[in-house]
Structure 1
Amino acid sequence: MNNSNNEISLGGVDKRVSMITGDPKKAIRALSIPMIISMLLMMAYNLADSIWVAGLGPNSLAALGFITPLFMMVIGLGNGLGAGANSLISRCIGANNKKGSDNAAIHSLILTLILSSMLTVFVLIFLKDILLAMGAGESLNLAIQYGQIVFGGLIFLIFSSVASGILRAEGDVKRPMYAMAATAIINIILDPIFIYYFGLGVSGAAIATIISATISSALILYWLLLKRDTYVSLSRKDFHASWNVIKDILGVGLPASAEFFVMSILGIFVNIMLVMTGGTDAVAVYTAGWRVVMIAMIPAIGIGTAAITIAGAAYGSRKYDNISIALNYSSKLAIGIASITGLIIYVFASSIASIFAYSPESAFMAPSIAAFLQVMCLFLIVVPLGISASSVFQGMGKGLTSLILTVIREVLFISVFAYLMAFTLGLGVYGIWWGIVIGGAFGCGIAYLWASRYIKGLKRSYYKQDNYKSRISSGE
């Protein structure tokens, strides 16, 4: 019986590995669908926090808005380390290096424990000072209440992301989806219980988030350590301490995490500009509307995450044509989906906005949220170019290049355009919104062109080397 089960498990592993090393288009479609579902579920419970907290009034919703950039830094660290593990493991799989895959997986989990512990201490010590610098004002105490609980349990948030990245590297995207489904459902159920029934307010939303993340981590630990039907194995005999492995994981992981840091810094900068031009109400509008934008971006992010695995496997096996296919196909697929999504949001913007303005305290925000969503529909159409480009670079192990592209987009374009349009042109809050759209279009376009040019260079170099070897072998 055990032998039969092992054969079934091994067959499933072989099928997943064959998929990520085969047709890039087919693999991207197969991998991206469960990832998109997983991310939708993740955003669903984040959205649930906003919806339930919105009933407490604009100050409570603004408190979530001030914590969101910091929360994204934490999620960014987990996703970054997950991308580093995904990239290295998938490259090892492409090169048929099983021992390297196992060692990379173990190293990534050790790094997770170390870095998450250090970050927890740092954030809890400086949380109040950071929020004051962001201009939290009337929302300060509420933001501290929410932040202390969420960041106190951030090890579970980071671990879940990294462990999911390990599974995705071998083409296993269904089980991370199952874990996220459990997380979302539990969080959505617990939110109203802790927020209203127990009367804990924003603290209740934070408690629900940490409980659900803990359960997700427990599920993935069971699959990796107890069930043991994965391509990678995590036994002690498979671990061989190596600085090169650490550097390889961090070479993608830290720049990828830094990308979230840069985007979070932009979020802080945007919040400050919003406070200066429209007060905390403007932050509340942006917080609610941006949650919807993030949900709409999920297909592009899910497709891009699939491209990391495909590009990594192709790079490891030197199938550079597959990298080019992954970039172009992921971009076109994501733009097509984003165009449809953007049109739907534009038409139903008022109805969507009413979800966040269902209480007397928040009803006045509905027209502004609807206007914000209609502007951001254009942003949704251009952002897949940047996401696909960054994902392909991460898959190839070029995390620093991906980071540079993010800095160019967020700092040189979005933040500058937002500032110029809000203050220099005097457009206020609306100028900030349009600055995000125009800056994002320039930044994402440059990223895509950069990635295309880089891949063409790889192919030219490889073909020249291959032709040279052919001439040598034939005696020319």
Structure 2
Amino acid sequence: MLKDTKGVSLLRANPKVAIVRLSLPIMIAQLVQALYNLVDGIWVAGLGPEALAGIGLFFPIFMIILSFAGGVGVGASSVISRKIGERNKDHADSAATYSVILAVVLGVAATTIVLPFLVPILAFAGATGKTLEMATSYSRIMIFGITLLMFNNVVNGILRGEGDTKRSMYAITLGAILNIFLDPLFIYTFGWGIEGAAYATVISIAASTILMSYWLFFKKDTYVSFGLKHLNNANGVLTDILRVGIPTSFAQIIMSISTFVLNTFIVKAGTDVGVAVFTSAWRIVNFGTIPLMGIANAVTAVTGAAYGERNAEKLKDAYIFAVKLGLLIGLCVTAAIFFFASKIALIFTYSESASVIFEDLVKALKILSFFVPTVPFGMFTSAMFQGIGQGVKSLAVSILRTIVLHVFFSWLFVFVLKLGLDGVWWGMLCGNITAEAVTFIWGMMTERKIAVTFRDLADQKISL
């Protein structure tokens, strides 16, 4: 009989301990990744606000493409963790194999379809002149790394699903650290400019892919195994992946579309300079939410395993504990960003050409800092929905937050109340507070319904 790995044993143990121990490696990895994003932004800032704006305009397009890999990865994580809870390794192996195949197919398809239309898409997003030129140069190179990045995202989801977050940390950290060292070399030493930033990223992704491929296909010591033979054991596994993966992908696409729409508001309210402000401020806010994203990944795996075991108490303990922990972290992050906003803004405005955004950036950081403590209530509820296989609910709350509320409030504050750039920041904050409150209430109702269902199933089993 196959011996459980440490990760699998952890998923079946105390849910609070599992949340903490699974979260920490993901937090470290994503903090390193976020540090790279900040460093990348700092190096690119030296090229001027047009370069920052160019990357900012490409980012939502990039995230739309990657959302498919993210969806498959979350779907795989959800199915694998639930099958671990059910002690059904055959189906876990099938989920892993299907996910890797889907990642490669989607990556090749996305590269082929998007590449010819990059310039019109970027122009439609509001890029003009030098900003359009830089955005095009950067994005053309990045597109060629899409397949590798999709593979990485899906494999990370597989590792999280089986509780092996340490190796996920190693792979992400390798790519991020390599990227940090390559950025200044390619951008300034070699004189490649914004193209150097793109080349550094693609090479780093390739290095991470090689490491992951070694673990999966050569060392072969993961809990799940891979091979075409596992496709014969499917029995609805592919459908189960897609049931979570497709709504998750659409949720991420909707977030990217929302960012795309917000960028158009920002361009109208503050020209390309406003996009540079948003890109820089949002990097900091995202950096602050990194610990929360680490916890969210753990919530999906732990609640998935608890759901597979039909243990409602473990599911509730994991969910509520995560929200409390996330709120505490969020309040600390808000205080740090708010009180050090001026010093943080200096990082992105050290060059003479970028100094024009300093005052607007400080204001954006102070307003958006209050965004962070609201995040756990919605993010962890979505993660729980994904863990229990109810991806449509996760999609619904994403639509509510990003399209209905973020965009509506930002439109209201910018175009009706005439608050300019500040209106975008206040709109995002108000929309998020409203959405997270509704989402958390829905999460608690769902958890209670699951508890009743499991109790009824247990009573039926006893009566038989």
TM-score range, shorter chain: over 0.9
How far residue 363 of structure 1 moved from its aligned partner, in angstroms, is 1.4
Post-superposition Cα deviations, 1:232-264, rounded to whole Å, max 9, x if no partner, equal 111343332747222211111121111111110
TM-score by length of 1: 0.95
1:41 maps to 2:20? no
- What corresponds to 1:122 in structure 2? 113
Kept in 1: contact 2:406–2:431 (CA 8 A): yes
Q: Which amino acid aligns with 1:365?
A: I
Q: Deviations over 1:64-90 (max 9, x none)?
A: 110111122233222221111100111
2:134 to 124, 142, 148: 142
Match of 1:401 among 393, 416, 424: 393
User: Structure 1 residues 444-453 or 72-81, which shifts more?
Assistant: 72-81
Query: 1:292-349 deviations in whole A, cap 9, x for unaligned?
Result: 1101011111101100000111111111222211221111111100101110111111
Residue-by-residue CA offset, 1:425-475 (whole Å, 9 max, x unaligned): 1111101100000100111111111111011011112223333443x34xx
Q: Indicate yes or no: 2:52 matched with 1:61.
A: yes
Contact 1:326 1:392 in 2 (8 A): no
Give distance in 2, aligned partners of 1:189 and 1:461. Answer: 53
After superposition, residues 287-306 of structure 1 pair within 5 angstroms as 287-306=279-298
Given the alignment of the two structures, is residue 19 of structure 1 paired with residue 10 of structure 2, yes or no?
A: yes
**Equivalent of 2:341, from 327, 337, 349?**
349
CA distance in 1, matches of 2:238, 2:106: 13
303, 312, 315: which one pairs with 1:320?
A: 312
Which residue is 2:67 aligned to? 76
User: What's the CA shift for 1:392?
Assistant: 0.3
The two structures, once aligned, show a CA RMSD in angstroms of: 1.5
Which amino acid in structure 2 is aligned with residue 88 of structure 1? V
* Residue aligning to 1:221: 213
Partners of 1:78 and 1:43 lie apart in 2 by 19
How is 1:171-186 mapped onto 2 (pairs within 5 angstroms)?
Answer: 171-186=163-178
Check whether the contact 2:27–2:294 (CA below 8 A) recurs between aligned residues. yes
- % identity of equivalent residues: 40
Query: Matches of 1:58 and 1:418 in 2, distance apart?
Result: 23
> Which residue of structure 2 aligns with residue 89 of structure 1?
80
1:4 matched residue in structure 2:
none
Greater shift in the superposed pair: 282-291 or 65-74: 65-74
- Are residue 269 (structure 1) and residue 269 (structure 2) matched? no
Q: Which amino acid aligns with 2:440?
A: Y
1:283 CA displacement: 0.5
Deviation at 1:132, TM superposition (A): 1.3
CA distance in 2, matches of 1:465, 1:244: 22
Instruction: Identify if the C-alpha distance between structure 1 residues 64 and 96 changes in structure 2 by more than 3 Å, giving closer, same or farther.
Output: same
C-alpha distance 465-168 of structure 1, shift in aligned 2 (>3 A): closer
**Larger deviation, residues 370-379 vs 13-22:** 13-22
- CA deviation vs aligned residue, 1:341-378 (integer Å, no higher than 9, x gap): 11011111111111111111111212211111110111
2-side partners of 1:241 and 1:288: how far apart?
A: 47
Report deviation, 1:120.
1.2
Q: 1:88 to 1:468 in 2, by over 3 A?
A: closer
CA contact (8 A) 1:414 1:439 kept: yes
TM-superposed CA distance for 1:153, in Å, is 1.4
Contact 2:11 2:163 in 1 (8 A): yes
* SS of equivalent to 1:289: helix
What is the CA-CA distance between 1:101 and the residue it aligns to?
Answer: 0.8
State the distance in 2 between where 1:172 and 1:183 align.
Answer: 18
**SS state of the match for residue 95, structure 2?**
helix
Distance 1:243 1:374 in 2: 51
- Dislocated runs of 4+, deviation >3 Å: 235-239
1:252-263 aligned within 5 A: 252-263=244-255
Q: 2:232 aligns with which of 240, 246, 263?
A: 240
* One-letter code aligned to 2:351: S
Aligned to 2:328: 336
- Give the Cα separation in 1 of the matches to 2:149 and 2:196: 17
Shifted more, 43-52 versus 272-281: the winner is: 43-52
Query: In structure 1, what is the Cα distance between the partners aligned to 2:161 and 2:109?
Result: 26
Classify the secondary structure of the residue corresponding to 1:355. Answer: helix
Once the 2 structures are TM-superposed, how far is the Cα of residue 188 of structure 1 from its aligned partner? 0.7
- Stretch moving more, 364-373 or 215-224: 364-373
- Give the paired residue count: 463
In 2, the alpha carbon distance for the partners of 1:241 and 1:131 equals 44
Answer yes or no: is 1:187 the counterpart of 2:179. Answer: yes
Shift of 1:159: 0.7
Q: Residue 103 of structure 1 corresponds to which residue in structure 2?
A: 94
Q: Structure 1, residues 68-123: CA drift from partner, whole Å, max 9, x if none?
A: 11122233222221111100111111100011111110010011111111111122
Structure 1 portions without partners, runs of 5+:
1-6
Judged with a 3 Å threshold, the aligned counterparts in structure 2 of structure 1 residues 243 and 288 are, in CA distance, closer, same or farther, namely farther
Matched, 1:283 2:283: no
Which of these residues, 405, 415, 432, is aligned with residue 424 of structure 2? 432
Matched residue, 1:113: 104
Q: Which residue of 2 aligns with 1:410?
A: 402
Is residue 331 of structure 2 the alignment partner of residue 374 of structure 1? no
Hey, what does 1:452 align to over in structure 2? 444
Q: Secondary structure at the match of 1:361?
A: coil
**Residue 212 of structure 1: CA displacement?**
0.2
Q: Distance in 2 between matches of 1:70 and 1:355?
A: 26
- The question of whether the paired residues in 2 share the 8 Å contact of 1:50 and 1:64 is answered with no
Q: Secondary structure at the match of 2:289?
A: helix
Q: TM-score, normalised by structure 2?
A: 0.97
For residue 47 of structure 1, what is the amino acid of its counterpart?
L
CA distance in 1, matches of 2:214, 2:460: 50
- What secondary structure sits across from 1:239 in the alignment? helix
Query: Structure 2: how far apart are the matches of 1:402 and 1:460?
Result: 21
8 Å CA contact retained: 2:69, 2:106: no
Q: Which residue of 1 aligns with 2:378?
A: 386
